[in-house]
Amino acid sequence: MPPVHVRAVSQTTHLQVLIEDDEWVAESVADGLPQASSAGELPAPPAERLSGTTLEEFESIALANNPTIQQLIATTQKAAGYRLQVGLKANPIVGYNGTQLADEGTAQHTGFFSREVVTGGKLQANQRVLNEALRAQLFELEAQRQRVLTDVRVTYFEALASQRRIELTREFEDVVRRGYELATVRKNAMEASQIEVLQSKIQLNQVELTLQQSQVRYNAAWRTLSALAGEPDRPVGELRGRFDLETASLDWPTIAVSLINESPEYLAAQTRVQQAVANLQRQGIQAIPNLQVQAASGYDYGTNSGLINVEVGAPIPLFNKNQGNIAAARADYVRASLDVTRVKNSIQARLAVVSNDYEQAAAAVSKYKLEIMPSAEQTLKLAEQAYRAGEFSFLEVLIVRRTYFDSTLLNLESQLALAQAAARVDGFVLTGGLDATVDLSGDDSLRGQTFSQQ
């Protein structure tokens, strides 16, 4: 499947919202507005963050430490053990037999060797069944790797957006605080009313609340990310990355076909069908009788001569022709075939949800980049110019400034939604990196069935 590729790379944008000029307090709210690098894009950072954990580092840690992956590795090893066990031949029996021991001079002493000879290729058929179980388990392991990686990426983007939201809010808080100080100075100079001071204070309190909520959101995302990575006690730190967004229109029907055909979840379901077919074939040869062979050699004291005994026997499949197990195996094949359809439909349903999220987010990112953010920036500039010229009130500038800040936050949320939707597509719409794993490794019951034909 061609990946959608919205990934984090080792850079970050330090979001500046409004004003960095220290003389702004004394002059006006208009000085020092940073310019975006292109229409609708957030301003470039004054300096690149060189510290922090990257997405690739969290992915590596998760693949090494996530307990569900370790569980499925063990389950795969378990399946390999069962595959070996069900193909082993029966151990021979070596023993001694003495007859007529109480009858002096007529005792017979023999040593014997016996074993059960498996016919019909049952042992090889056993291994074919368990080999498909092992293959299915390997696909389940790969599916779980994708679940873990998807959850890590989605959560990483959530944490990265929260980190950027904190940076943006802190910078805007500084601007709003200086605006509050200016309103206070103007009121003391009898140039502004108490209403301007109160409105500035309200705006400052709102931004402070946004900052607190952003920090809580970041901490929660970090804890989730650390748990997914298998290090739940990892201290909260910084992230290093940025959104590398692509908003091109995607051919979802083609992606659906490619995603289904390459999905390890779907391949595991198909392999379980092959396992059911192999088991149906295996049950069909169960009634072929195994041979019980015994050879004995010894000495007959009654005749003063050696003796050799040979015995060969086999159960007659008169009543038990394994018909019940054959019927059960046929039903299991039907279930496995229907499960392939279920998995396919499930993938398509999940992809439909993700494609909707992606298209909406892509439309929002494009709209913010091309129209909303340029308009918000231009409106802010014009409002500040009008304020300097006495054509705009201070309260109107507060409203415009808040609109610009809110638009920047919504733009960030759109970028987050797009990145998370793309990550889910890249991960075959598989999620649940900490959900309980299912053990489908099988067992060694086929071996017991092989050597117990009654």
Q: Where are the domains of the chain?
A: 22-450
pLDDT at 24 over 60: no
Mean pLDDT rounded to a whole number for the chain: 88
pLDDT at 181 over 50: yes
Query: Domain spanning 22-450 has what CATH number?
Result: 1.20.1600.10
Question: How far is 18 from 34, CA to CA, in rounded Å?
Answer: 6
Looking at residue 182, what is its pLDDT?
83
- The confidence score (pLDDT) of residue 30 equals 37
Range 270-284 average pLDDT: 98
The kind and range of the H/E element at 353 are: helix 323-367
Q: What is the pLDDT of residue 28?
A: 35
**pTM exceeding the 0.75 threshold for the entire prediction:** yes
Beta-bridged to residue 293, according to DSSP, are 115, 312
Q: Whole-angstrom Cα distance, residue 88 to residue 84?
A: 7
The single-letter DSSP state of residue 146 is H
Strand partners, 98: 109
